[in-house]
Amino acid sequence: MLVFIFTLVLTVIGYLILKKFYHHETISVIGCVLGLFGFITAVAMLGVIFGVHVGVDVRIEEKRIEYEALCERYEIATSEYEDVSKSDVIKDVAEWNKSVYTYKHWAYNPWTNWFYSRRLADELEMID
């Protein structure tokens, strides 16, 4: 959120510099560059934000299926059957837990929370 607001502020500052110092060539170029950079970055961020929040239900379901499959593999690995390599399962579970923690961290970080879906972050569970 704060990164997006920063780009909007940068766009406004660039516009104000361009408007105020229109007759000074060097300063107006700086204002134009700041404004364009801020505007283009903000538009790109809007695309990313919309992309993240559209179709979140599908990603929630995909993650739920992946979670259940990992839980079943973990149960098999910890049981008396030796069908699945225990080290592979432990590695996969550790990767899952790491990705869940990372996603939840960025979804609740005030700098980046608009780029991550809190609904998805709340649905993800760590495997013990």
- Per-residue pLDDT of 70-81, as tens digits, reads 888 888 777 776
Query: Mind listing the pLDDT tens digit for each residue in 13-71?
Result: 999 998 888 888 888 888 999 999 999 999 999 999 888 888 788 888 888 888 888 88
Q: Are 70 and 93 in contact (CB under 8 A)?
A: yes
> What pLDDT is stored for residue 62 in this prediction?
87
How many beta carbons lie within 10 A of that of residue 25, not counting itself? Answer: 9
CA of 35: how far to CAs of 13, 19, 30, 54, in Å?
7, 11, 8, 28
Across the range 85-90, mean pLDDT stands at 77
Q: What is the average pLDDT across 95-115?
A: 89
Q: What is the pLDDT of residue 82?
A: 62
Question: What is the CA 65 to chain-centroid distance, rounded?
Answer: 21
For the chain, helix (H) and strand (E) counts, in that order, are: 5, 0
92: nearest Cα among 69, 109, 110: 69
Tell me, rounded to whole angstroms, the distance of Cα 89 from its chain centroid.
26
Q: Is the pTM of this model over 0.75?
A: no
Distance CA 50, CA 54 (A): 6
